A and B are shown apart, each in its own frame.
Chain A
Amino acid sequence: MKLKLLMSATAVAALGTTAVAQEMADEMTIVSWGGAYQNSQLRAYVEPYLEMHPELDVTWDERSGEAVANLRAMDEAGNITWDLVDVTAADAMRLCDEGLAMEVDFEETLAPGDDGSSVEDDFGDMLVSDCFIPQIAYSTTFGYRTDVEEWGGEVPTEICDIFDTETFPGQRSLEQRPIGNMEWALYCDGVAMEDVYDMLETDEGVDRALAKLDTIKDDVVWWTAGADTPQLLADGEVVIGSTYNGRLFSLIEEQDQPVAMLWDAQMYDLDGWIIPEGLDDATLARVKDFLYFATDTQRLADQAQYISYGPARASSAPLVTTHADLGIEMAPHMPTNPENASNSFVYAYTWWADYRDDLDARFQAWLAQ
């Protein structure tokens, strides 16, 4: 016990956070997405951390999808039961806006890069909110079946093939929300990538995007859960569909389905941690201690052994190796891989925070028509 105390004292002193050893809580509730993603977190840094700290008891909660609503309800009830929450960048921004997530001093809380770069430099553009500690870059992109007879040997090579029902007949699956679909529709209607958001701010732009989506409306199955498209593709219900690239990776490489990736105009997004506002000192000390370890260069690179999402640190990229179970090179399957990223959208966080309510009303009304 004495030794442990001494060790944690040196560790804390080494972090430079505080000179006095802080009492750390022995329990921590981590909220994540469940499934393969949570498993990658478990194997890459939660299990190793637990080995170093056997006194810690980690509880998982798999409700990241409704994190904002749940945190808001907990806050109103005055009883926050979550200690560390994995959310998308857009949700992190909303939590930050609502005062439900803690603002983080990145340089103080996180480890510098292995290559000596500062935290700000290492994460670079990924630091999109003061409350958000990025872990991975993922993308929403398309997968298509490789065995469709009606296509006569042709395969889709660019995003606009989604709208080409002549060459590529069959059902498509798209996410049941405006984000992503509106951008792709305008882009394929001839609007340059950099003008898409200016265009969407106008009524004509929205009309134009919806008119483009109208051309395939009868061929679309709308999904709401990330697992829908892989299932639809596997069952042959749809021939092309959008979903998170990690889901497609597991469909193609782990389940060996006749499906291939279409990376063109993929929609980048980030996922990472937020610390809920209002933790007690001991829990906060534990969470920070865990975060310092779990988001360092090596741990983020390790996570890429289990799932095909790109590490958020630039310094982690060279350390990405092969899949832990399949043994295949992971780099070509990353959304951040230069070959895949040659033409891509970056989720416009601030823009969608402003226009989401409005466009969603338009989109839902359009769907109901």
Chain B
Amino acid sequence: MSDQTASGRPESPQSPVAALPGGEVTERDQDGPMLAADGRPLKSSLARALRREKLRALALIAPLLVFIFISFVLPIADMLFRSVQNDIVADTLPRTVVALANDPLEEEGVPSESTFAQFYTDLYIAEEYKEHTRLGSRLNYEMSGISSLFRGTGRAVGRFDTDIYADQFEAADPAFEDPAAWADWMADDDIRAALPLTTDAYDAWAGIAVELDEDNPAEEDPEDIVYTSLYRDLANGAAPPAPFPQVDVSGFESVSIRELFIEEDEDWADPEVWETIRAYSSRYTSGYFLNAADMQTTPEGVELRPENERVYMTLFVRTLWMSLVITFSCILLAYPISFLLATLPARHANLLMILVLLPFWTSLLVRTSAWKVLLQNEGVINDILVWIGIVSDTNRLALINNATGTIIAMTHILLPFMILPLYSVMKTIPPSYMRAARSLGAKDWTAFWRVWFPLSVPGIGAGSILVFIMSIGYYITPEIVGGTRGVFISNRIAYHISTSLNWGLAAALGTILLVVVLALYWVYDRLVGIDNVKLG
């Protein structure tokens, strides 16, 4: 390869030999392309060797790549995906979702009887699988009260007065009492096609019987949802072929499922409930992101939430702003120390280095709790200030449970992440540059400012990125010393993960945070250039 570049004419037919990476040299074939020892064309041989090199490198890092992919990329992608995922409504109430989409909601925003009947089937099945309460918790994020509406109605839905249909069908034809006959009818494709609702309900019921109760559907009486669906099929004019019994349902006593629901809980007559179910029935939702941006969907479109419900934008802005303040405090404190570390003789520098690293080796929780002891009203710092007489006993400084506390504690905790890159960059600045500057007539300050400082800027860049990005996602320290005005967005994310269990919202907030960090990184790259960042 080096020979090729050296000759400058690698393809030239004049050059009789070429060196392979392996060092093999081969004679050139008189007519065809240059050949390697094994008779292959040199070009492909070279490419193969290169490819092999790449594969080897890849194989070396493969364990790490696979590990990162499985334990880091996949879970995070899965978590972030929850911010738009909304399968639960369509999965739990499949029939209702379809019926609602076609229901004009003419009667004051409340669905028609047929939609309610589909909802009855859905809720009955969901209750059997114990999924209705999970759906209730999900919809409760959007409208208070839905949680107990589903829980309460779920408990009652099995006892709805729909058994009159089973009784009337059985009175009309005793064949209905035979589970085996039902199983036969429901195996007949013509009957299935004629009775769509009944087939659907029967299949769902048979699924429950097999999966949950481990019964044979051919030996069990179908539940009320099947008879209710059968009544609706026949009342719609269905004419199932024989052997299905011919029953005239026009004389049947009927019951309004809609009324049954409203009787159970009058909230089923609340249009807002149905509007919520309809609005969140698609499999993907922007609801979590809107919520994360303090917005909401109203009948008039997307708009900002009322002022007394906005919280996330405040927190995002505060997180960014306080992270900036922390980063600058770190630069201010770390620069002189790093300067000292880099310029002192090794013996003293090492001692100083240990002092820098000591807190680094101490548990984060211990350090944060120590700040609590120092900063609180009756704490060490206030006591000393009162003792000296700088502040009066009744006007002690509020140093904790606010933004001040977070900034002080986090500056201390993140300081090593600024000192170390600064130090390693400064260490590489040859002392002779300063001497040269002085010998050319520069004063101490000019020499520092014109020569030393510009050379240390890459260290500031590296330290700032490190500290800023770390502090943007910080959680423990703000939680302990931040009170209410010193907490970050990550504290809210943690709250939604572990306490409110609104994982979709937590994922949306996390996604926004990630995007903001990436955007800032891009801006930084454009302004400063990431090539100017050095870790040593």
Contact = CB atoms under 8 A, between A and B. Distances in A.
A in complex with B: yes
B498 A358 contact: no
B501 A68 contact: yes
A33 to B, nearest CB: 15
B378 A235 contact: yes
Interface stretch (A113-121, A155-163, A307-315, A348-356): A348-356
Interface string A329-362: 0000000000000000000001001111110111
Contact of B130 (A65, A99, A221): A99
B216 interface: no
Interface string A154-176: 00000000000000000100001
Interface stretch (A90-98, A104-112, A253-261): A90-98
Interface string B425-458: 0000000000000000000000000000000000
A354 B484 contact: no
Contacts of B136: 97
B147 A362 contact: no
Contact of A94 (B145, B309, B501): B501
A69 B148 CA distance: 20
A34 to B, nearest CB: 15
B281 interface: no
Interface string A219-242: 001101000000000011100000
B493 to A, nearest CB: 12
Given A97-B136, A99-B130, A367-B484, A357 B376 contact: no
Interface residues of A, number: 34
B519 to A, nearest CB: 24
Nearest to A361: B309
Contacts of A72: 501
Contacts of B146: 354
A69 B501 contact: yes
B315 A368 contact: yes
Contacts of A99: 130-131, 133-134
Contacts of A176: 484
Contact of A357 (B140, B151, B311, B485): B140
Nearest to A277: B130
A51 to B, nearest CB: 36
A171 B502 CA distance: 33
Interface string B92-124: 000000000000000000000000000000000
Given A69-B501, A354-B148, A362-B309, A96 B377 contact: no
A72 B498 CA distance: 10
Most buried by A among B377, B492, B497: B377
Contact of A365 (B137, B310, B485): B310
A72 B145 CA distance: 22
A23 interface: no
B328 interface: no
B145 A368 contact: no
Contact of A368 (B130, B485, B501): B485
Contacts of B377: 171, 237
B151 A97 contact: yes
A7 B496 CA distance: 48
A198 to B, nearest CB: 13
Nearest to A218: B398
Nearest to B140: A357
Interface residues of B, number: 35
B401 interface: yes
A101 to B, nearest CB: 10
B311 A236 contact: no
A96 B137 CA distance: 11
B308 interface: yes
B315 A353 contact: no
Interface string A71-100: 010000000000000000000001011110
Given A235-B378, A353-B148, A354-B145, A98 B134 contact: yes
Nearest to B497: A69
Contacts of A354: 140, 144-148
Contacts of A151: none
Given A176-B484, A221-B483, A366 B308 contact: yes
A221 B501 contact: no
Most buried by B among A97, A171, A236: A97
Contacts of A68: 501
Contacts of B309: 361-362, 365
A94 B308 contact: no
Contacts of A368: 311, 314-315, 484-485
A269 B249 CA distance: 53
Contacts of A10: none
Contacts of A237: 376-378
A62 to B, nearest CB: 14
Most buried by B among A66, A99, A358, A368: A368
Nearest to B129: A99
Interface string B128-158: 0011011011001100111110010000000
B479 interface: yes
Nearest to A67: B498
Contacts of A366: 308
Most buried by B among A72, A94, A171, A354: A354
B513 to A, nearest CB: 17
A360 B378 contact: no
A357 B308 contact: no
A152 B66 CA distance: 69
B140 A236 contact: no
5 contacts: A350-B151, A355-B144, A361-B309, A366-B308, A368-B311
Given A350-B148, A356-B500, 18 more contacts: A65-B498, A66-B498, A69-B498, A94-B501, A97-B136, A97-B137, A97-B147, A99-B131, A236-B378, A350-B151, A353-B148, A354-B140, A357-B144, A360-B500, A362-B308, A365-B309, A368-B484, A369-B308
